[in-house]
Amino acid sequence: MSGLDWPDDERLLTGLRDSEDAAVVRFPAGMALVQTLDFFTPIVNDPFRFGQIAAANSLSDVYAMGGVPYTAMNIICFPAKTLPKAALTDILRGGLSKVVEAGAVMAGGHSVEDKEIKYGLSVTGIVDPGRFASNRGLVPGDALILTKALGTGVLATAIKTRAGDPAELEHVLWSCASRLNRAGGRVIAELSLRGATDVTGFGLAGHVLEMARASGMVVELRTGEVPVLGPALDLIRGGKVPIVGANNRDFCACAVEVPEDADPARVDLVFDPQTSGGLVLAVPEDKIEAARAMLTEAGDLAVIVGRVVEAHPEGRGHGRVRLLA
């Protein structure tokens, strides 16, 4: 496609430049695959920024396991009859910029004509099969460290409803959501962390509950410690709560305890559906200082938002999250 400069990469034996239907890629010995796929409709108006956000979101699942993105393929639906091709090119350029930043190979993709724009990536990562993180890795005493502020769902809702200054809100959202979770992935690998997840559509509370259930643990989250993205709390108090956030809260109600003295806006915030949110890292006490130093040096947040308290009496498959003020 004109306007796109596909970089050469020695790992790619054949593929894009030869108009192949599949790519042949060298694979490092002794490593395991991490495979993921994600795509969604635009949450910002600028097509290049949307491409960056969607790509960063797709790459995040690899980082959340302590892996390194290796190859990526575009998945795009585009209304070619009603929108200019330049918008399509800009979306793909945005996605490519993040794949290159991640050090991965853009190996191809597939496009479909559709009435609505949708874009994302299929990503293959590599990970040491003996050193990766998952939802099952929580241990009593672990601190839960969050690497990005919450509020992208609230800001996206405000942009769609033209609340406040849409251009300013879009900039704040893009600045956070387009940032790669590479530093968090490196912390997992170098410190041999066993428990981690990324925060996306189920919100912080929902994804931590998934971890608690998979690990069979009881977890506490301190809503007052959760970092806030821009004016997200003010927007929540003004009624800009995404429907998905309310659904998240209802779905988790049986296993997430909400104290009576909690700030309602902060409770809504921990259920806010994130797009390309940060990582939650479960860090043992003796590794907290090192983890926070690595994240801070990379420019990421490193906020302790909770703790793993104890094992759930019913074991794996059962978990509980207590929200604290």
Is 293 part of a structural domain of the chain? yes
Residue 147 belongs to domain spanning: 135-324
Residues 147 and 120 in one domain: no
Residues 63 and 156 in one domain: no
Q: Is 59 helix (H, G, I), strand (E, B) or coil?
A: helix
Report the mean per-residue pLDDT for the chain: 94
Cα 253 to Cα 165: distance, rounded to the nearest angstrom: 34
Which residues, other chains included, contact 107 with Cβ-Cβ below 8 Å and sequence gap of 6+? 12, 15, 16, 23, 25, 71, 72, 73
**What is the tens place of the pLDDT at every residue in 100-140?**
999 999 998 999 999 999 999 999 999 999 999 999 999 99
Cα 300 to Cα 304: distance, rounded to the nearest angstrom: 13
Residues 191 and 318 in one domain: yes
Among 98, 127, 156, where does a domain finish? 127
Is 97 part of a structural domain of the chain? yes
Residues 102 and 142 in one domain: no
Cβ(242)–Cβ(153) under 8 Å?
Answer: yes
DSSP string, 254-272: TTEE--TTS-HHHHHHHTP
**What is the tens place of the pLDDT at every residue in 159-206?**
998 888 999 999 999 999 999 999 999 999 999 999 999 999 999 999
Instruction: Give the count of domains, the chain.
Output: 2
| CB-CB neighbours of 128 under 10 Å | 14
Q: What is the pTM of this model?
A: 0.93
